[in-house]
Chains A and B, each alone.
Chain A
């Protein structure tokens, strides 16, 4: 076991996969000479050389397109979006080119690509350095969407994403990069976290909290607080948002009969809406209360601290919603 930061876990996973497989390469802005805006790829250029560590021009479309073209002929590209917000530039490559490639090749041409980058707010990043737009990609067939909350999952999921034969959107919450530390397995263990499997991070009996990313930590804090009040939360960390692990969700719902979905992205059209709909479709008779959602207000993520705080969900919001659910 190694005790590492969230950021280091991602770095090590990529490093070890590049050591293991010469077909893996990384491409992005400032990732080579500088080692990445957040330092996730520090040392990669010296170790793996410029053919596998590509300092790209400011061209998000080209960055992802290079991964697409290379994947078509057997390579495995990891594209870094310096901030995941910038992926909007490359939307066509993600949803129309990469996501569809296997389908329109009649199943012959898989698209092993990882598109990764820092996401999320709570750091004063303002409109274009704070977004959580996983729902954009959640809607698109052919894509997988991942967002870990802990170093061991970040490590195991990144390895799985690199080995996966499909385009994987890998959201790394920048708030967690250096704040969260934890143990990860040693390299020789070849540790993988399979995509599509949620993990219960805290067991409880009264309310199922379904969440992912930085909100897992918020939910765990809320659970601690509510424990004193005698309200027991079960916290499910989805880890993979698409495909959804409905088995784990439904099993928990059948136990608690109360559901709170928490995500940092705006509420309308968010991942939570789909989860709620599926629970209603598949476990309606088990519910004792309406499904509730805690999410960002339907706004952009503003800059000034009081504004950002007002828009993004807080631990207090989760506590308040859980109390309401428990009392229902």
Chain B
């Protein structure tokens, strides 16, 4: 295991929360990492083979440890707002894989009913807040979700808002974090610093050495951690959850990682032109999955056979969901004009 990185704010180290994880937990984390990887590969494959003909596939290859490590310690009643490289988070937080695939294929039974694409979905009943293409904007929206909890006296429900290092340059990122910090809302912003916003390198997005330093301006803890080490991500998240649930306000966690593929599937050629190939190859060696597997074997708790590489049942499960989505009905054209307005009697669910 790598050592944990210092907190930017006060130089403390994160606690080794992962030491309390059971063998069963570790195995589940391993399987989730593979789920994310195989989900990604299956959709790239479907796109390449022409089975997915519409929309882009935004790869999370190389960033799996962030999704798994940040969601694993959450409570069922916590909120998340995943973005485009977090598709598996929707499944980790309770959405059915078939629903997610229907969303990718734009089918009638997708959460958006085919209205919007890819990750722009949610399910309020499961605490999944919808994001938009304007990645910073959901950070500000998160404040409203949390304010509503405050109105209801639910102070310890946390919202994990995912964003990229590029989106930390947007206005809503600042307004949202500033608001959350002023009012000590339990918001955890996970910045997936994969080094590139489309083609723009991080040094043209962020003037400081780490993204975590942005936290200083809000007087909140900022972590800069190894985003390819699932247990380090888990540990930082547990620390952040304790902080947020205790009413101490928001936390920023910068997970340093790398986008192994292009911005989306259309970008594979250029992504090897605007980035040095040597850099890509270096990060391939830091792949979070083999890294975690090596660690698990080193603990002596697991045999090689217990850690299938990859677990074939997961690949099959994903493939079944893809077949389900491909065969699911398309939306009726006229439904394009539904859900623009809600004309139900406009009263709150709870009226005096």
Q: What's the Cα separation between A165 and B151 when bound, in Å?
A: 20
- State how many angstroms separate the Cβ of A24 from the closest Cβ of chain B: 7
> Could you say which residues of chain B place their CB within 8 Å of the CB of A141?
340
A92 touches B (CB below 8 Å): yes
A65, chain B: closest CB distance, angstroms? 3
| Cβ-based interface call for B115 (8 A) | yes
Contact A107 B344 (CB under 8 A): no
B351 contacts A107, C-beta separation under 8 Å:
no
CA distance A141 to B337 in the complex (A): 10
In Å, the complex CA distance between A312 and B181 comes to: 43
B-side interface mostly: loop
Task: Give chain B residues whose Cβ lies under 8 Å from the Cβ of A23.
Answer: 151, 348-351
Chain B residues lying within 8 Å of A24, measured Cβ to Cβ, are 348
Interface residues of A toward B: which range? Answer: 35 or more
Binary contact readout A82-100 vs B (1 if CB under 8 angstroms, 0 otherwise): 0000000100110011001
The verdict on A230 contacting chain B, using a C-beta distance below 8 Å, is: no
Question: In angstroms, how far is the closest chain A Cβ from the Cβ of B312?
Answer: 33
Q: Which residues of chain B are within 8 angstroms of A106 by Cβ–Cβ distance?
A: 110-113, 115, 339
Is A101 among interface residues, defined by CB-CB distance under 8 A? yes
Chain B residues touching A, range: 35 or more
Bound: A61/B140 CA distance, A: 7
Give the shortest distance, in Å, between B149 (CB) and chain A (any CB). Answer: 8
| Chain A stretch 35-66: residues in CB contact (< 8 A) with chain B | 51-52, 54, 56-57, 59, 61-62, 65-66
A164 touches B346 (CB 8 A): yes
A165 near B141 with CB under 8 A, answer no
Q: Which residues of A contact B352 (CB under 8 A)?
A: 19-22
Q: Name the contact of A104 in the complex, choosing from B130, B176, B346, B347 (C-beta under 8 A).
A: B130
Cβ A74 vs Cβ B178 within 8 A: no
A75 at interface by CB-CB < 8 Å: yes
Select A101's contact among B130, B145, B175, B343, beta carbons within 8 Å: B130
* Cα(A74)–Cα(B125), bound, Å: 11
Q: Are A93 and B140 closer than 8 Å at their CB atoms?
A: yes
Indicate with 1 or 0, residue by residue over B117-134, a CB within 8 angstroms of chain A CB atoms: 000111110000110101
- Whose C-beta in chain A lies nearest to the C-beta of B347? A163
In the bound complex, do residue A104 and residue B144 qualify as a contact, i.e. CB atoms below 8 Å apart?
no
Contacts of B346 in A (CB 8 A): 112, 160, 163-166
Across the interface, which residues of B come within 8 angstroms of A164, CB to CB?
346
Chain B 154-179 per-residue mask, 1 if CB under 8 angstroms from chain A, else 0? 00000000000000000110011011
Cα–Cα distance between A66 and B178 once the two chains are bound (Å): 12
Tell me the minimal C-beta distance from A163 to chain B in angstroms.
4
| The residue from A22, A75, A100 contacting B132, defined by CB atoms under 8 A apart | A100
One digit per residue, 1 when the CB lies within 8 angstroms of any chain A CB and 0 when it does not, for chain B 57-93 equals: 0000000000000000000000000000000000000
Residues of chain B in range 323-352 having any CB-CB distance to chain A below 8 Å: 338-352
Confirm or deny: B116 has a beta carbon within 8 angstroms of a beta carbon on chain A: yes
Complex Cα–Cα for A103 and B335 (A) = 10
Interface residues of A (CB under 8 A from B): 19-25, 51-52, 54, 56-57, 59, 61-62, 65-77, 89, 92-93, 96-97, 100-112, 141-142, 144, 160, 163-166
**Footprint of A on B, CB under 8 Å?**
110-113, 115-116, 120-124, 129-130, 132, 134, 137, 140-151, 171-172, 175-176, 178-179, 182, 338-352
9 A–B pairs (Cβ distance < 8 Å), ordered by A: A59-B140, A62-B176, A66-B140, A66-B179, A70-B148, A73-B145, A96-B134, A101-B130, A105-B124
Given contacts A65-B137, A97-B141, A109-B130, 10 further A-B contacts (CB under 8 A): A20-B351, A62-B143, A65-B140, A69-B140, A72-B144, A93-B141, A96-B137, A107-B338, A109-B124, A163-B347
